[in-house]
Amino acid sequence: MDLHIAGQPPERDERAAVDSVLGPLQFGKLESHHLQQERPARSQRHLLLPVLHAINCRIGWISPGALNYACGRLNLPPAEAFGVADFYGLFSMTPRPRVVIHVCDDIACLMRGAPAICEHLAGRLGPAGAAKPSAKLTWLRSPCLGLCDRAPAALVSAAGREPWECALAPTSADALLAAAEQPERRPEPPPVAASLSVPQQGQQELRLLRRVGRLQPESLEDYLAEGGYEALRRAVDLGPERVIREVIDSRLVGRGGAAFPAGRKWEAVYRARSTQPARYLVCNADESEPGTFKDRVIMEEDPFLLIESMTIAGLATGCEQGFLYIRGEYPVAFERLSHAVRQARKHGFLGKQILNLDLSFDIEIRRGAGAYICGEETALFNSIEGYRGEPRNKPPFPTEVGLFGRPTLVNNVETLVNVPGIVLWGGRSFAGIGTPGSTGTKLFCLSGHVARPGVYEVPFGASLASLLDLAGGVAGTGRLQGVLVGGAAGTFLSPRELDTPMTFEGTRAIGAALGSAVVMPFDDSVDLSKILLRIAAFFRDESCGQCVPCRVGTVRQEEALSRLFGGHAEGVGQAPLQLAEIGQVMSDASICGLGHTASSAIQSALARWAEFSDLRQGSVPED
């Protein structure tokens, strides 16, 4: 392939942004024939996403000069790189103001003041995304930012030589405008006590959350003082096969949504060592399911726990390289984990000689860039490799052909942080907690109309009602209309179903799924039609666009819903049948889980619509 790169040479800032990731160009001044000569290996493509981040951070958008320069350095055709960059919501392919306010208008924030914030910003700055590039700032609507416990939420980012990002929650239009006023200085977000996100903080029974609030998240010393890295030592004593045995015995099931037994994957990746010496570990921290924020809380409050867990997993399965893929909208988690990785390396917990033994494992952190679909494991591989985040066809499964085509162990953050406990206290003892089908404790994300939103840890088996009680009961009017379980890809349940056990098997028995353990109740004043429309819009926005059932189905689904709720005479009668058929083709014929579940919440709500309406009628008049 001969690269064809047209256009102007890069400006200084454009080159600096790219060089900050790739290192300075060896040949001095860049001329077109240098582009031809300087041919790094094709495998450098995996640096495309970090390079795009650097460009967007520095220039404020992905400018042609910067992209072309990056393509020359990475030996990538510009059309391909453009297609990758244009896939991600956080990158702009056209010039825009340096400061961007991303206002969450997703479900939890929708109920807690996001519409008023958007209206205010629209009044001050014009419609979302409409500001001229020369303006000081612009604003955009954003899907769930994973801060639902502190809704309403927003993320402010400022590009430039000293870029910054800042998540603000709870926030207000005035606070956002004030933060955006001074792009030179990162605003100090008001300190948030860990106990706000973890109301159970300090309780004895906690396992996964036991250190939250007891340590400085940045401090390796604190972590060690709280029993950190004991599990790694124990794992090294036990050896890979025993560790994997314990994970199998624990009957730990993946917490990322697909509910796959963790031990089976670990074993498969370990076994693959005979044919494939190079294997990878990937920690999926792309947490983007609306209503989900459990992984963020772990990463922000106990970052070393995740690093230790990944190290155990890597050493047990024989993967020398781990990747931690954190969603782009989590700046605090990214910073704390980057810091933790550096500290761990410095103190011999990562790198070539872990614990001064002949053990080698290291972690690369990668940031997503605004794409829910990149949480799907094979889309995540493509994203790391520098391709568009489009899911791959399965089979083959990741344990056979995963990242860079190698056998890969991919696990969710919460799945992994269960492992130190399993190693320390034994798989059998872990399996004794919870129910036979759902072992251990589980983190639930409570937000919406509950008195005390936050992440709650309970042994598996608790009912939906007891979870609501734990979080202080139904807030708002105090009268429950329904509960969204599992997030946008989940199921609406009615008050009749409150005694459902929140286990994998208990939810499955009523045709629901635990998903990412979202529990979001709505009081009887909420107009659920608005919530359903928001969910439909979410899937339309987040479909990768690869397959027809989902690419067009998510559009037709949103249209049919708005026909149904808009009360337009023509077509209303047809809408329910259309929605059912759209739902069926999406779940039957789509490539991946996004399409398979894109109609689930909507269909479940429509099936209970009469019940919800009765409850709503009982209270406020419908608007």
Partner 1 sequence: MEKKKPVTQESFPFIASAPSPTVPVPPGPIPAPPPAASRNEVALTIDGKTARVPEGSTLLEACKTQGIDTPTLCYLENLNPVNVCRVCVVELEGARTLVPACSRRVENGMVVRTDSERVRLSRRMVLEFLASSVDVSTAPELQSYLERYGGQPERYGPAAQAAGEPEAGPAGVHAAPDGLTAATVAQPVKIDNDLYVRDYGKCILCYKCVQACGEEAQNTFAIAVAGRGFDSRISTEFSVPLPDSACVYCGNCIGVCPTGALMFKSEYDMREAGNWKESEQQRTDTICPYCGVGCTLTLHVQDNQIVKATSPLDQEVTRGHLCIKGRFGWQFVRGKDKKKSS
DSSP 164-215: EEEEESS--HHHHHHHHH-TTS---PPP--HHHH-TTTT-TT-STTTTTTTS
595 is a contact residue toward ligand SF4 (CB under 6 A) = yes
Cβ closer to ligand FMN: 280 or 612?
280
Instruction: Report whether the peptide linkage leading into residue 152 is cis, meaning its omega lies within 30 degrees of zero.
Output: yes
Handedness of CA 471, 473, 478, 480 (dihedral sign): positive
79 versus 225: smaller Cβ distance to ligand SF4: 79
> Are the CB atoms for 538 and 594 separated by under 8 Å?
no
Cβ atoms within 10 Å, residue 498? 17
In whole angstroms, how close is the CB of 582 to ligand SF4 at the nearest point?
Answer: 13
58 part of the interface to partner 1, by CB under 8 A = yes
Q: Cβ of residue 198: shortest distance to ligand FMN, in angstroms?
A: 20
Q: Which helix (H) or strand (E) holds 57?
A: helix 48-59
From the list 201, 543, 557, 603, which residue makes contact with ligand SF4 (rule: CB under 6 A)?
543
Dihedral pair phi/psi, residue 342, rounded to 5°: -65, -45
- Piece in contact with ligand FMN (CB under 6 A), picked from 128-136, 198-206, 280-288, 353-361: 280-288
- Residue span 204-233 as binding mask against ligand SF4, x where in contact by CB under 6 A, dash where not: ------------------------------
Window 34 to 53, contacts with partner 1 (CB under 8 A): 43-44, 46-47, 50, 53
The binding site for ligand FES (CB under 6 A) comprises 104, 106-109, 144-148, 151, 153, 290
For the chain, the 3-state helix, strand and coil shares in percent, each to the nearest 5, are: 45, 15, 40
573 to 602, contacts with partner 1 by CB under 8 A? Answer: 574, 578, 581-582, 584-585, 587-591, 596
* CA-based radius of gyration for the chain: 24
Mark residues 413-452: x for contact with ligand FMN by CB under 6 A, - for none.
--x-------------------------------------
Handedness of CA 206, 208, 213, 215 (dihedral sign): positive
Cβ pair 244, 409 in contact under 8 A: no
Instruction: Round to whole Å and give the CA distance between 305 and 91.
Output: 31
106 binds, among ligand FES, ligand FMN, partner 1, none (CB under 5 to 8 A by kind): ligand FES
Q: Could you tell me where the DSSP H helices lie in 206-261?
A: 220-225, 230-238, 240-250
Tokens encoding 455:
């992440």
Instruction: Give whichever of 396 and 618 is closer to partner 1, judged by the CB atom.
Output: 396
Stretch that binds partner 1, among 177-185, 310-318, 345-353, 536-544 (CB under 8 A): 536-544
Min dist CB 620 to ligand FMN, Å, is: 35
257, 434, 487, 521: which one binds ligand FMN (CB under 6 A): 257
Q: Which is nearer to partner 1, 227 or 277 (CB)?
A: 277
- Identify the DSSP state of 356: G
110 or 326: CB nearest ligand FMN:
326
**Residue 151 contact, options ligand SF4, ligand FMN, ligand FES, none, Cβ 5-8 Å cut-off depending on partner type:** ligand FES
3-state secondary structure 472-494: CCECCCCCEEEEEECCCCCEEEC
Tell me which of ligand SF4, ligand FES, ligand FMN, none is bound by residue 288, counting a contact when its beta carbon lies within the kind-specific cut-off of 5 to 8 angstroms.
Answer: ligand FMN
Among 363, 410, 520, 526, interactor with ligand FMN by CB under 6 A: 410
How many CB atoms neighbour CB 199 within 10 A? 18
Q: Which does 594 bind (CB under 5 to 8 A by kind): partner 1, ligand SF4, ligand FES, none?
A: ligand SF4
Q: Give least dist CB 67 to partner 1, A.
A: 7
Q: Could you say whether residue 22 binds partner 1 (CB under 8 A)?
A: yes
The two counts, helices (H) then strands (E), for the chain are 28, 13
DSSP label at residue 258: S
Query: Which residue in 249, 606, 608 sits closest to 419, CA to CA?
Result: 249
Site residues for partner 1, 101-160, by CB under 8 A, read 128-129, 140-141, 143
Instruction: Please identify which residue in the block is written with the tokens 């149904």.
Output: 564
Inter-residue contact 314 to 322 (CB < 8 Å): yes
Residue 474, both tokens: 């139904």
- Which residue of 592, 601, 606, 615 would you call a contact of ligand FMN, by CB under 6 A? 592
Which of 546, 557, 587, 597 is close enough to bind ligand SF4 by CB under 6 A? 546
Whether the bond between 395 and the residue before it is cis, its omega within 30 degrees of 0, is yes
Helical ranges in 358-486 per DSSP H: 377-385, 413-417, 419-425, 427-431, 464-470
Q: Does 594 sit near ligand FMN (CB under 6 A)?
A: yes
- Tell me which residue has tokens 């004991």: 230
Q: Would you count residue 286 as binding ligand FMN (CB under 6 A)?
A: yes
**Which residues in this chain contact ligand SF4 in the complex, by CB under 6 A?**
373, 391, 543-547, 550-551, 590-592, 594-595
Name the site residues for ligand FMN (rule: CB under 6 A): 254-258, 260, 284, 286-289, 373, 375-377, 410-412, 415, 592-594
